[in-house]
Structure 1
Amino acid sequence: MTSDQSPAAAPTRRARREPEAPPPSKAGRDLKAAIIVGVILAAVALGSLLLLPEAFLLLVLVVMGVGVWELTRALSTVGVRVPIVPVILGGSAMIVVAYYQGAEAQLIALGLTVVGVMIWRTADGVTGALKDVGAGAFTALYPCFLGAFVSLLLAAPDGHLRVIFFILVTVFSDIGGYAVGVLFGKHPMAPSVSPKKSWEGFAGSVITCALIGAVAMWQFWPEAVWWHGAVIGALSAMVATIGDFIESSIKRDIGVKDMSSLLPGHGGVMDRIDSLVMTAPLLWIALSFTVPIA
């Protein structure tokens, strides 16, 4: 070997390539996890509903309690202390009395809950009392009072059908909006609040829910007018979208992406029921007129 020659460079070992994580969906979620969790949630809800009305009522109580915990926990990150004890007790009372005593008792329970929030917070000093009481009253209204309309749906003789109808037209708002939005979404509805929601996806929600509502009305109540179901479904999609925007605005104001991480692929319980609590009052009123209780 001459002096101007250098030894052959030692062969370099190619770096081991790590397996790539599956890319997130265009909606920014783990789609596989979201589907699995969604199927489990649907099975639990349907199973309890068909097993015994009181079992589903217990499920509503649990969901409401977790939702209140998530909301109060998120608000605490910006210095708002919601009096959670009176809200949980009052929210539970709203759900139970709505089922056994009706809408008037539900409204009375809301009023008593707000009074309880004010008394409880007053005993904790005056600093920040106004914002804490306001947040407590808001939490008592949303999700507790609005969620209690599910109890009113359930209380009817055909309550299981009314609840299934309510869940179908609300859940398919998300499904239809997601599918159409991913495929064709180009024009955002409110980019500062929810950048991924498009007008095309909204149209998909309305059309899907109208179809689901019409078919469900025809199947569940043959004596009813099928197109009433289409109208209710379309309105439900609109209200569900408003519920999504309300939840998104709250999270953006607080500075969180999700209310929690309890449900893989979905976020928290409040991230999953935001549209449900908004559509429950609409469905109760609409079905009361279109499918009167005998």
Structure 2
Amino acid sequence: MDPGNREERMGRIEKKKVITALLIVPPIIGGIALGPSPTLGLMVLIATFLGLREYFRLCLPRSKPIEKTIGVGLGLIFSILALYDKTSAIIPFFIFAFLLLALLFMVTSDSLGSSVSNFALTFLGIFYVGFLLSYVTLIRNMTDGKIWVLFLILTVWAGDIFALFSGVLFGRHKLYPKISPNKTVEGLIGAILGSLLIALLYSYFFLPSLNRWTVLPLGAGLGFFGQLGDFIESMIKRSAQVKDSGSLFPGHGGMLDRLDSFLFSAPFLHYFLSLWLEETL
């Protein structure tokens, strides 16, 4: 690759993106590593609230205030259930949320033609943001949960960083331009390799009993599902015809833009630990 072209591509990585990351990453890591047990749960609760607000602004911009309020409230309850480790209540609550929303949209919808789609999009948002993000807190509640949450965050963030640099420096083959014209096959490969690298390094220092051959599918899976979450959020933004979900973080977009990589990687890690490593840790 031509050096001049490489420098030009590197220039596209905005300085404000780096500055914002330097400002927000240390407090998050420090709060999780050094803070009391409820710290992460409160972080997830706040992130869920902001993420749901952005979701409803993107997908249901014309919905009534009461519909958005109840949608956000139902999504937050998942975070609260996870915070108090009430996993047995999750399925009953899903049924309750479904029935409540069905009744809500029967009453509030001006047209039955739009009531079903609005109901479905609201229920999707509760599942997509509220339920999936609650897995971060569920991981924290597991044995050595703090170590595993930090493993999740650092590994997924590494995947995002490697995807960015790999795509900018080496990107040639578009992954799926219909949804995200800037994402490339090289970026996806870089994400998986970056997650693998950090997973191996982290496990070496903080999870020495973890078999290195186990780390390989774990790190690769986190890298893949992190990028899948990014891709799905890009589909939502594309349908809403916006570039970012919000402007909360300069250079990074909104809260959903920062959460998307964890929405599928967190459940993956949770079930990996529950099903695969349960007898080996």
* Residue from 17, 38, 53 that aligns with 1:54: 38
| Distance apart, 1:81 and its partner CA | 5.5
- Distance, in Å, in 2 between the alignment partners of 1:193 and 1:33 is 25
Cα distance in structure 1, aligned partners of 2:10 and 2:100:
40
**Which residue in 1 is equivalent to 2:81?**
97
Gap regions ≥5 residues in structure 2: 1-7
Q: Structure 2 CA distance, aligned partners of 1:197 and 1:273?
A: 18
Secondary structure of the residue aligned to 2:260 is helix
Q: Which one-letter code corresponds to 1:58 in the other structure? A: L
Tell me: CA distance 1:100–1:28, structure 2 relative to 1, closer, same or farther (3 Å): farther
Q: 1:27 to 1:117 in 2, by over 3 A?
A: farther
Q: Per-residue displacement from partner, 1:105-149 (whole Å, max 9, x unpaired)? A: 233333322322222222213512111100111001111100011
* Paired residues, number: 269
Task: Determine the C-alpha separation between the residues in 2 that align with 1:35 and 1:287.
Answer: 32
Deviation, structure 1 residue 180: 1.2
Deviations 1:189-246 (A, max 9, x none): 1111111111111111111111111222232221121221221111111112211111
1:34 match = 17
1:140-179 matched pairs, under 5 angstroms: 140-179=126-165
Deviation per residue, 1:129-185 (Å, 9 max, x gap) = 111100111001111100011111011231111110111121111111111111111
1:247 aligns with 2:233: yes
Alpha-carbon distance in 1 for matches of 2:186, 2:246? 29
1 CA distance for matches of 2:52 and 2:92?
A: 20
Q: Pick one of 106, 110, 116 that aligns with 1:122.
A: 106
Structure 1 residue aligned with 2:125: 139
Of residues 130-139 and 41-50 in structure 1, the stretch that sits farther from structure 2 once superposed is 41-50
Equivalent residues of 2:9, 2:169 under 8 A apart? no
Q: How big is the shift at 1:30?
A: 6.2
Q: Identical aligned pairs, as a percentage?
A: 29
Root-mean-square deviation (CA, aligned residues, Å) is 2.2
Q: Distance in 2 between matches of 1:53 and 1:119?
A: 37
Note the alpha carbon deviations across 1:21-43, whole angstroms, 9 max, x for none. Answer: xxxx8599762211122222222
- Contact kept, 8 Å, 1:153 with 1:159, in 2: the verdict is yes
TM-score normalised over the length of structure 1: 0.84
Structure 1 unmatched runs, 5+: 1-24
- Give the match for residue 200 of structure 1: 186
Contact 1:185 / 1:199 at 8 angstroms: preserved in 2? yes
Q: 1:27 to 1:122 in 2, by over 3 A?
A: farther
Alpha carbons of 1:115 and 1:194: their partners in 2 closer, same or farther (altered >3 Å)? same
Q: Whole-Å Cα distance in 2 between the matches of residues 255 and 187 of structure 1?
A: 24
Asked which structure has the greater RCO (Cα within 8 Å, sep 6+), the reply is: 2
Q: Does 1:88 align with 2:72?
A: yes
- For the 8 Å contact 1:98–1:105, the answer to whether it is kept is no
State the Cα distance separating 1:259 from its structure 2 match. 1.0
* SS in structure 1 of the partner of residue 242 of structure 2: coil
> Any conservation in 1 of the 2:237–2:243 contact (CA below 8 Å)?
yes
CA 1:219–1:32: 2 relative to 1, 3 Å: same
Q: 1:63 aligns with which of 26, 29, 47?
A: 47
Report the secondary structure of 1:52's partner residue: coil
CA distance in 1, matches of 2:186, 2:109: 50
TM-score, length of structure 2 as denominator length: 0.88
Q: Is the 8 A contact 2:85 2:138 kept in 1?
A: no
Q: Is the 8 A contact 1:240 1:278 kept in 2?
A: yes
